[in-house]
Structure 1
Amino acid sequence: MFRIALVAAIVVLSGVAGAQSSEPQASPQRKLVDGFEGRDFAPEGGLYYRENFEQSAGTYEFQSLVKRTGTGGLKLSVVPHCPNLNDGCSERAEIWEKTELRVPYDQGVWYGFAVNFDDPVPNGDHRYLIAQWKREIIPGAEGDFSPFLALRMELGKLFATVETNYLPPVSTGRENVAARCGPGEVPVWLRPDVNQMRILAATDGNWKAEDGSLFNSCTNAVTITDHGNPLPDPKSGWIDFVVYTKPGPDGTGHIELYANGKPIVTVKGHIGHADEGLGKNQYFKFGPYRAADTTQWTLYYDDFRRSPHCADVLTGGVCPF
């Protein structure tokens, strides 16, 4: 009896010690927040700058001249770095979630962050991303999987794309398809050679049908509910994005996209990838990411937050659930 009581006491004390530990809580239930107020990433934000060749094109700076709230903001810049403009090299200054804090791929989570485009805003026909959500890839796995959700810019216009595994289209080869897909269909760029397809999910108010010429087929793999609010103009100042992400390659995916407190689109259906060699978690990264270019590109970020609860992230808007 004494041995049983002693073991029980040790278990209780161990549990108390664990509860008081200062180690990061590796759980999607943990709320993450970073207002970039100090000289480094806040411990409660769970963010870091990843070091590799493409990231060496970038710099990050905690500064106080350009901010949305508080006393500071994060400046991220990329400069020409690739040896050749046409060799597939990219230039990045992306901020990542720490690996131990990533959210399981089959769970939903809310993200928020604000971004401000420095002048001049790039307006070329080029590949620019400002934020992306991906699935982990197991080291050594074959394939290069695009983000299942990305906020992109081309010709100076913002747009959002959703990616999933290739599914046969409901129609192909239609001119100006963004204006011509039928009821229940959405514009898609088919990429069967890599078992992927990219869906045009949302655009800004300056977008024209011809801007979406790449999305020249239609799919019913997802449903998109347009809430009547376009994405903001990248020249309009601070844009506060709020995003709910729950991948579901089997058709159970769900995305909510807000900007400046207004609902933009709801996307449901086939979202993300289910190929061999992919990991169990989703992850988020933000910052300027582009194909090799010849100019400097700078973005400012502020007010990062992540939570399983919408109310922790969406301010000035109404949570959908």
Structure 2
Amino acid sequence: MIAQRFDNGVFHITVQDNEIRRVVAKAEGDPDRLVAAQNLLAKLDPHDERAVSAVKSLQSLDLLAKTQPGLTDEFFTEDLLKTLRPNSNPAEGKKLSETLGLNDSSLVSQFSALSFVAEPEKYFGNANIEIIPEANRALPDPSKGWVDMMYRIKPGRTDNEYGPKGKGEIDIWADGQKIVSVRGNLGATLKKDTPLALEGPYFKFGTYRLRIPGTFSFQFDEFSQASSKDGLAPLCSAH
């Protein structure tokens, strides 16, 4: 129900309401634009193959503009590239959205804040998740040094068929600073026909990546988990 991810080199944290995913914090960019982009994707139908294809095409164009600016400057017009930026010309954005088959032209200029995610279609549809950024703070960049992460996680859903009912809560700190709070339906709905033991969240760690050339490595150290703050190792501090 919560994950630390690296997509296209961007460190970010996601939560899920059943199968629908939301980014709640990332290592760069504007948190408000991130929320706005996700709100627009929430209006799309995850079963609409045309919409999925359109958003993936928009994502490819935006990532190409960010990673290969010289190439895009040579082969794409300046007016086209401007449509991918915030506060772009609405007329140009409408033209591109119609070409891609998107009904909402505002997605063209707002999607840039979310274009780094690996599976944008997982962000389609409504999710009962409230994201409350803390003072527009971004996550630290792990490529520049160690990052100490701390999470307070209280699982919960209002639609459970058994067990406790109530909104879930997640609070996240990085290097001792509060980054974001999350409230809402977190994780999977508990169903009576597929009962699970009420044992709370568990921790899982490993490398999950696409098969691409090159090597990938990371370092992980000093993990501590407890049912209260007093039980955490001293290194895990929050302010």
Give the structure-1-normalised TM-score.
Answer: 0.39
Correspondence for 2:175 among 260, 272, 276: 260
Q: How far apart, in 1, do the equivalents of 2:34 and 2:45 lie?
A: 14
Structure 1 contact 165–249 (Cα < 8 Å) conserved: no
1:296 alignment counterpart: 215
Task: Give 1:238 deviation, angstroms.
Answer: 0.4
Residues 271-282 of structure 1 aligned to structure 2 (within 5 Å)? 271-274=186-189, 275=191, 276-277=193-194, 279-280=196-197, 281=199, 282=201
Correspondence for 1:209 among 106, 113, 125: 113
Task: Give 1:316 deviation, angstroms.
Answer: 3.9
1:159 alignment counterpart: 12
Extract unaligned runs of 5+ from structure 1: 1-147, 168-176, 194-206
Q: How far apart, in 2, do the equivalents of 1:235 and 1:269 lie?
A: 31
Task: Give 1:302 deviation, angstroms.
Answer: 1.1
1:126 alignment counterpart: none
Per-residue CA distance 1:270-317 (angstroms, 9 max, x = gap): 001024536323311123222333332211111110111124257342
Q: How far apart, in 1, do the equivalents of 2:221 and 2:185 lie?
A: 31
> Structure 1's 278 and 152: CA in aligned 2 closer, same or farther, altered over 3 A?
farther
Q: Which amino acid aligns with 2:143?
A: K
Residues 93-172 of structure 1 aligned to structure 2 (within 5 Å)? 148-165=1-18
Structure 1 contact 157–234 (Cα < 8 Å) conserved: no
Task: Give 1:181 deviation, angstroms.
Answer: 5.7
2:59 alignment counterpart: none
Q: How far apart, in 1, do the equivalents of 2:183 and 2:237 lie?
A: 24
Residues 1-321 of structure 1 aligned to structure 2 (within 5 Å)? 148-165=1-18, 178=34, 180=36, 188=42, 191=46, 208-211=112-115, 214=120, 217=124, 219=126, 221-228=128-135, 229-250=137-158, 251-274=166-189, 275=191, 276-277=193-194, 279-280=196-197, 281=199, 282-311=201-230, 312-313=232-233, 315-318=236-239
Task: Give 1:186 deviation, angstroms.
Answer: 8.4
Q: Which amino acid aligns with 1:315?
A: C
Q: Which amino acid aligns with 1:308?
A: S
> Structure 1's 300 and 309: CA in aligned 2 closer, same or farther, altered over 3 A?
same
Identity, in percent, stands at 27
Relative contact order (alpha carbons < 8 A, sep ≥ 6): 1 or 2 greater?
1
Structure 1 contact 178–186 (Cα < 8 Å) conserved: no
Q: How far apart, in 2, do the equivalents of 1:261 and 1:186 lie?
A: 32
Aligned residues: 148
> Structure 1's 265 and 190: CA in aligned 2 closer, same or farther, altered over 3 A?
farther
Q: Which amino acid aligns with 1:180?
A: A
- Any idea what SS the aligned residue of 1:291 has? coil
Q: How far apart, in 1, do the equivalents of 2:45 and 2:14 lie?
A: 13
Per-residue CA distance 1:234-289 (angstroms, 9 max, x = gap): 31210111112222132511111111111111111100102453632331112322
Question: Whose strand proportion is higher, 1 or 2?
Answer: 1
**Greater mean alpha carbon deviation, residues 212-221 or residues 296-305:** 212-221
Q: How far apart, in 1, do the equivalents of 2:133 and 2:47 lie?
A: 27
Give the superposed CA RMSD. Answer: 3.5
Q: How far apart, in 2, do the equivalents of 1:298 and 1:162 lie?
A: 24
